Amino acid sequence: MGGKWKDLEKRRASQRRHHEANRQKRSEQSHASYLTHREDVKARAAARRKTPEGKAYIAEYGRTEKRRAYLRTYRQQHKPEGRAATRRSYEKHKNDPGYREKRSAEHARYYERERARLAERAKVYSREIGRARRRERDYGLTSEGFAALLGAQGGRCPICLDPINERSHVDHDHATGLVRGILCGSCNRGIGILKDSPERLRRAADYLERSK
């Protein structure tokens, strides 16, 4: 019995070594196969999405508000791991010329292959849509909530009273993350430079008053 288990362990160890030795080759073969059959794969995926089962799956797991809220929570909970992974990738790209050349070549091939689709996507994904999605992702502020807040302020910056619009800045408390209002770019930068400190702002106002 002992000999049988020893042979099994040897076979598993051999399989693991073979797997490690051929991982890169299999990855390249898989990628090449995908490129060859990419249009067919996309067509089958599109057809599945149109079936009742596909529509039900999208309705349940698609990018609904529930899904977006889950992703926001997940990113917050795993922020250290995400930053560490980004840092590792940056260091490898910085210190490994071979990896850097490989990634650059992959990016160039991808852009050349997807040039038309990316151009069309850029037209659809306008600045307004991107801005609205970033507000919702970063502050939990929907387009309707932003419009309501802008209307409550009378369409003006509450500090300088200049007119503001949908391109203006969302101001939030960096300690709590709560949205305080919508400011023009100058006022938002100004209170940020003064560290969001009411005492500093009062002293700055006093200084200007004395200087008149």
Give CA–CA dist 19/2, Å, rounded. Answer: 26
What tens digit of pLDDT does each residue of 61-105 get?
Answer: 665 667 777 788 888 888 888 888 888 888 888 888 888 888 888
Tell me, what's the pLDDT at 132? 82
In the chain the domains, ranked by start, together with CATH numbers, are 68-125 (no CATH), 140-210 (3.40.1800.10)
For the chain, what is the mean pLDDT? 82
Tell me, what's the pLDDT at 6? 64
- What backbone torsions phi and psi does residue 57 show, to the nearest 5 degrees? -65, -45
pTM, to two decimals:
0.40
Give CA–CA dist 153/161, Å, rounded. Answer: 9
What tens digit of pLDDT does each residue of 103-147 get?
Answer: 888 889 888 888 888 887 777 676 777 788 888 888 888 888 888
> Are the CB atoms for 143 and 131 separated by under 8 Å?
no
DSSP letters along 56-108, please? Answer: HHHHHHSS-HHHHHHHHHHHHHTHHHHHHHHHHHHHHHHH-HHHHHHHHHHHH
Identify the weakest region by mean pLDDT among 9-23, 148-162, 174-188, 189-203. 9-23
Distinct helix (H) and strand (E) counts, the chain: 11, 2
| 156: DSSP letter | B
Tokens linked to 154:
């009378």
Can you tell me whether residue 166 is helix, strand or coil? coil
For the chain, how far is it from start to end, CA to CA, in angstroms?
Answer: 97
